Amino acid sequence: MSGDPAPTSRFNSDGRAPVLVLCDHAGKAVPSWIGDLGISDDDLNSHIGWDIGALWMAERIAARMDAPGVASSYSRLVLDCNRPLTHAALIPEMSDGVAIPANAGLSREQAATRIEQVFLPYHYAVRDELARFAAQGVEPFILSVHSCTDVMDNFQRPWSIGIAHSPDERVSRPLLGALRESGGFEVGDNEPYAVDESDYTVVAHGLERGLKHVLVEVRQDLIGERDGAHRWADILVDALERLDFV
């Protein structure tokens, strides 16, 4: 509807590097046709509503690497663009102990509207970028940027940055080593998350297409302000530049 943000945004669209930067949970907008998720602004603004700092990181990475990027605008609580369409958490009724009243008991038609208005535009935009690379005879590397809360289930996560492996570890395994060589911070190996059956983006657009890819998670307390997000983007790009795969 008029006044709602576009479901996706693109950044550094003229980037020429064989890299595509993605941010599945970049925004926290709620479309006006939903009205209200039934949660507080504090909850919507927290880690359950979006990946805090991830878009700042993604934009900085894209600028440093001269790469295009695609981001999703709506809150992951409206629909999680990194979940398969059949996954129970696609439209979550509960997130980290917080009930999402507007997601309870949705009809098939209501769920289909969210898929049509939120999920499909984002993944069509990713597909279009990949088609543009393919038309140039280029197989890009897909870099999916996420952030995670520093405390989950009363556990203080020690990892500043985590590398989530899929079965294709052409990038993830050497990147893990390069980050550890940087020193001064703890790097998670499939911590706090691995790529598994709950993930969609790097699986559908990377693994299933045979494209190199990696999903990174950075702690939100480190990138909740722009300067911190840019610092961690630079740490990641510096590590990537030491690897000979792009």
Whether this model's pTM surpasses 0.85: yes
Judged against a pLDDT cut of 80, whether residue 245 lies above it is answered with no
SS3 236: helix
| Mean pLDDT calculated for residue range 143-159 | 94
Asked whether the beta carbons of 74 and 29 are under 8 A apart, the reply is: yes
Provide the residue range defining the domain that includes 106: 8-241
Residue 217 lies in a domain: yes
Residue 80 lies in a domain: yes
Residue 246 lies in a domain: no
pLDDT at 199: 98
pLDDT at 234: 98
SS3 165: coil
Mean per-residue pLDDT of the chain? 96
Asked whether the beta carbons of 27 and 56 are under 8 A apart, the reply is: no
Which CATH number do you get for residue 23? 3.40.630.40
Partner residues linked to 94 by β-bridges: 99
Residue 153 or 141, more confident: 141
Judged against a pLDDT cut of 60, whether residue 1 lies above it is answered with no
Residue 246 or 197, more confident: 197
Judged against a pLDDT cut of 90, whether residue 154 lies above it is answered with no
Number of structural domains the chain divides into: 1
- What's the sign of the alpha-carbon dihedral 194, 197, 201, 206? positive
Could you give the count of Cα atoms lying within 13 Å of 36 in the half-sphere of its Cβ? 4
| Residue labelled with tokens 């961690």 | 232
Contacts with 97 (C-beta within 8 Å, 6 or more apart), sequence order? none
Residue 190 lies in a domain: yes
Residue 64 lies in a domain: yes
> Which tens digits make up the pLDDT trace of 60-115?
999 999 999 999 999 999 999 999 999 999 999 999 999 999 999 999 999 999 99
pLDDT at 246: 64
Residue 97 lies in a domain: yes
Judged against a pLDDT cut of 70, whether residue 41 lies above it is answered with yes
Residue 1 lies in a domain: no
**String of DSSP letters for 46-109:** STTTS-TTHHHHHHHHHHHHT--EEEE-B-TTT--TTS-TT-TTSS-SEETTEE-GGGTT--HH
Core vs surface per residue 137-158: b (16+ CB within 10 A) or e: eeebbbbbbbbbbbeeeeeebe
Residue 173 lies in a domain: yes
What does the angle CA 214 – CA 84 – CA 144 come to, to the nearest 5 degrees? Answer: 20
**String of DSSP letters for 84-99:** -TT-TTSS-SEETTEE
> Which tens digits make up the pLDDT trace of 177-226?
999 999 899 999 999 999 999 999 999 999 999 999 999 999 999 999 99
